[in-house]
Amino acid sequence: MTIQRTTTASAVRLTPFSLKGTDGLLYGLGDVRGENGTLLMFICNHCPYVRAVIDRLVEDCRVVQESGIRCAAIMPNDTVAYPADSFENMKLFAAEHRIAFPYLFDETQDTARAYGAVCTPDLFGFNSAGALQYRGRVDSAGAKPAIGTERRELREAMLLIARTGTGPPEQIPSIGCSIKWRQ
C-alpha cells in the first residue's frame, strides 16, 4: 500500500534533543544535522524488523552521507522491561553492525514522543530546512532477507531530498515492533 505525504506529515519539523551516544558523547540536533538533510531513525536492538534491515540501513546511511545527509539512530524503548535494548547492549549492537553514525539512547522517551515515533524502525527524513520529506520503509524487502533486487526506497528518497529538498510523493510506511513505552 502506498501513501502520499500529507500536510500533517510534512508539518513535522526537526525538534531539538540532547541524547547520549554509544560512544559516550552527548549529541544535540546541531551535532547530527546535515547540510543537505537529516535522517533520524528510531530503532532498537531486539526488534526482528530492525535486525532484518540493519545492515542495509547502515549501508544506505553510508551512501547518503556522501551527499550531505547526516544520520543518527535513536533507541526509545523501555530498557527495564526490554533489557536487550539496554545501553550496554546498544554498544554491542553498534559494534556488531559497524554503525558509523551516532546511536543515541532516548532514556526519557521524550524525543520519540516529540517526533511521533510509533515503531522500530521508524524513519524520518528531513530536508536542509528541517521539514519532514520522507517517512517510509528502508526497502521493498522489509523483514525478509534481501536478495539484491529490492528497491532501496530510503536511499532513493534521501538522495532525492539531498538534490531537490523534496521527498518522493508516494511513500510506503515502515512496519515494525511498537515502541515499548514505560508504564
Using alpha carbons only, what angle is made at residue 160 by residues 158 and 163, rounded to the nearest 5 degrees? 110
* Structural domains of the chain, with CATH: 3-178 (3.40.30.10)
Report the pLDDT value the prediction gives residue 23, as an integer from 0 to 100.
97
Using alpha carbons only, what angle is made at residue 31 by residues 66 and 153, rounded to the nearest 5 degrees? 40
How confident is the model over 42-83, as pLDDT tens digits? Answer: 999 999 999 999 999 999 999 999 999 999 999 999 999 999
How confident is the model over 117-167, as pLDDT tens digits? Answer: 999 999 999 999 999 999 999 998 878 877 888 899 999 999 999 999 999
pLDDT average, residue stretch 98-113: 98
d(CA 134, CA 155): 11
- Provide the phi-psi class of 48: left if phi over 0, else alpha when psi is between -120 and 50, else beta: alpha
d(CA 182, CA 180): 7
How confident is the model over 7-41, as pLDDT tens digits? Answer: 344 468 899 999 999 999 999 999 999 999 999 99
User: Is the pLDDT assigned to residue 96 strictly greater than 80?
Assistant: yes
